[in-house]
Amino acid sequence: MRKLYAAMVVGIVALYSLAFWKNARSYAHKSRNWRLGKSAIDCSLVITAALYLPALLVGWTVMWLARPIKRRGIQVTLAIVLGILLSSIGGVALEILCVLGIFAVDLLTGYQGIYGWWKLGPPEEFLPQLKEKKDVFA
């Protein structure tokens, strides 16, 4: 049982180290303490999703992998294929999803997610029906 706990601790430390490395590259202008905190949040989100909601982890990873594709039809097709592929892998090798999830969780906690909305506000295309409509007859 000790070997299992040791392997678990080594895996968590490796996942945290990967998150810190990624955040050090993406957010080099931020302080070290900020990057340590964001890495802890990212790592805990990925581990929690892997334990309780692996489908959510698959969704984040698919969004991250399909994001560079600009043509909507190809992006949707690729997302469906990747979703099926990663869901089938997730039952056997959840570790692969956790490693990819460290990169994908930045869509949730990084500039495109909560942190970006906190600093810059919601994007212009978010709920356009709530914006004031200009009077076209005036």
The per-residue pLDDT string of the chain (138 residues; one tens digit each, 9 = 90 and over) reads 899 999 999 999 999 999 999 999 999 999 999 999 999 999 999 999 999 999 999 999 999 999 999 999 999 999 999 999 999 987 788 888 899 999 999 888 887 778 887 888 777 777 777 666 665 565
- Rounded to a whole number of angstroms, the CA Rg of the chain reads 18
Is the CB of residue 16 less than 8 Å from the CB of residue 40? yes
pTM of the predicted model as reported, rounded to 2 decimal places? 0.79
Q: At what angle do helices 32-52 and 54-66 cross, to 10 degrees?
A: 120
The structure tokens listed for 137 are: 């007859």
pLDDT at 32: 96
Segment (H or E) for 96: helix 94-104
For position 125, what pLDDT does the model report? 74
